[in-house]
Amino acid sequence: MNTVLKTVILGAPGSGKGTISSRIIKAFNMDYISSGDRLRQHIKEKTPIGLEASKYIKDGKLVPDDLMIKFISEELKKVKSKPWLLDGFPRTLFQAQAFWKEEKLDLAVNLVVPFSVIMERVEGRMVHLQSGRVYNSSFNIPKVPGVDDVTGEPLIKREDDKPEVVKKRLEVYDKMTRPVIEFYREKGILKDFHGETSDAISPQVLKELSNYMRLEGSQ
């Protein structure tokens, strides 16, 4: 029987999914797939998927469902032997319903952060494209400005972090992704985590996950 823990992390753009996910994978031996990070890697490499996805991402729109569902199920084929954490997928009710037919998830972590704190966070964000590590000019500041702490490689600004695009992404989230939260709530696997900072939220998430890890270890 396949008993690996299957988890998704949900939350608005800038709510701290990437930041908290890196703390989760540091604490537990999990595979991590961020749909946004993987798409940005494809864009950088100018693959056919990257060229198609960039048309939507640059304007803060969602990449079409059929492309995303195929993309993520291919990515998941690579990581099935360990517990995994998925960040950024599913993003629409259609994706959630299609995905549920393939994978029955154990836990959906939902980060609830006020929109007012999100806008200023995203303005200061810098990312290391290859690893997905995220930094900020006022939080998780890189040791050397503009450089990844681990590899020494340059950090970049995301193209979709311009204020007008962030606003659009928050609107899309409200309209398209909130139904995903309700979908998982009805399935009985959703856990909400409220807070204004990742430092306040991540200990709650790690505690919750450690309960699931214990359960999994006892099977």
Active-site positions read 17, 91, 125, 158, 169
Asked whether position 13 contacts ligand G5P by CB under 6 A, the answer is yes
Determine the Cα–Cα distance for residues 77 and 16; give it in Å rounded to an integer.
26
Residues 80-119 that bind ligand G5P (CB under 6 A): 88-91, 95
CB-nearest residue to ligand G5P: 36
Nearest alpha-carbon partner for 88 in 180, 153, 162, 171: 180
By rule CB under 6 A, what string of x and - marks binding of each residue 127-156 to ligand G5P? -------xxx-xxx----------------
DSSP code per residue over 141-157? --SSTTB-TTT-PBPB-
Q: Of the two residues 105 and 218, which places its CB atom closer to ligand G5P in the complex?
A: 105
Out of 11, 16, 18, 60, which residue is the one contacting Mg ion (CB under 5 A)? Answer: 18
Q: Is 109 helix (H, G, I), strand (E, B) or coil?
A: strand
- Measured between alpha carbons, how far is 35 from 33 in angstroms, rounded to an integer? 6
By CB under 6 A, tell whether 125 contacts ligand G5P. yes
Let me know: does 4 contact 79? Beta carbons within 8 Å: no
CB of 69 to ligand G5P, least distance (A): 9
Binding positions for AMP? 35, 40, 61-63, 88-91, 95, 158, 169
Query: Helix or strand or coil: residue 83?
Result: coil
Asked if 60 interacts with ligand G5P (CB under 6 A), we say yes
Residue type, 36: G
Contact 172, 62 (CB under 8 A): yes
Binding site for ligand G5P (CB under 6 A): 11, 13-19, 35-36, 39, 56-57, 60-63, 68, 88-91, 95, 121-122, 124-125, 134-136, 138-140, 160, 169, 197-199
